[in-house]
Amino acid sequence: MSYLTKTKMKLELPALGYVADGPKLRVGQREFLFEPNLHKEASPWNLVEVDDENELATAAVCLNILGKVIGAPKFHEWLGVVKADRDLAQAVKTDTTEVIGSTFRIFNPEFKFPRTDAPLWMGCDMRINNYNHVTLQTIGDCACLGPHADGHWVGWQDWETEGYCEYDFHNNDDDSQTWSLLAGMGHLAALCLEAAS
């Protein structure tokens, strides 16, 4: 049993979402407008407040107090549905990579995006693995947000039985990378909840 399952009722786990109108990142009841000075107002690592409501039961993706991204069982199930439908998977990937790229561009308007259909480890991408968890990639040398197999909150051995997943950042050396990955994950969370309604 994962640490998350043992303690989830005691944790501050507000829902993560993306609002295209703005665009904004939603964390619980608060919204953060994506703009070049965002990093001066809020760090990606302290978006969760100690009095935030635990929304894990209704959310697709949550953030915890340490800035960890937590995928809920409904998110895991929805990613499996997306992966099984080639057309849907391509549409979701296209939309999500556009959100990642456009958010990155807000912080780096002069950046020239590479022209490639296969971003490999340098561009914006989205992949769903065999466990129905997602890896998002942004501009940079393997700058990504993906499942943490040996996470403190949820380990790989609990992925199948519980459906939760702890996501972690890798090589995100710049706030624009972190914000763009959070935007992509928030966008996926919004699509998941929209499909469930």
Going from N- to C-terminal start, the domains of the chain cover 10-196
- Identify any residues that bridge with 18 across adjacent strands, giving them in sequence order: 25
Top-ranked range on mean pLDDT: pick from 41-45, 112-116, 151-155: 151-155
Task: Give dist(CA 177, CA 170) in Å, integer.
Answer: 10
> What percent of the chain stands above pLDDT 70?
94
Element (H, E) at 27: strand 24-27
Does an H or E element contain 170, and which?
strand 165-170
pLDDT, tens digit (0-9, with 9 covering 90-100), for 1-37: 888 888 888 888 999 999 999 999 999 999 999 988 8
Is the separation of the CB atoms in 107 and 138 below 8 Å? no
Q: What is the DSSP letter of 118?
A: -
Share of the chain above pLDDT 90, in %: 60
Percent helix, strand, coil in the chain, to 5, is 40, 20, 40
**pLDDT > 70? residue 120:** no
The model carries a pTM of: 0.93
Gap between the Cα atoms of 130 and 139, Å rounded: 24
Show the tokens assigned to 11: 């944790």
Given a contact cutoff of 8 angstroms between Cβ atoms, the answer to whether 70 and 153 are in contact is yes
Would you state the pLDDT for residue 118?
Answer: 59
pLDDT at position 151 is 85
pLDDT tens for each residue of 24-72: 999 999 999 998 887 766 788 889 998 999 999 999 999 988 888 999 9
- In whole angstroms, what is the distance from residue 84 CA to residue 70 CA? 22
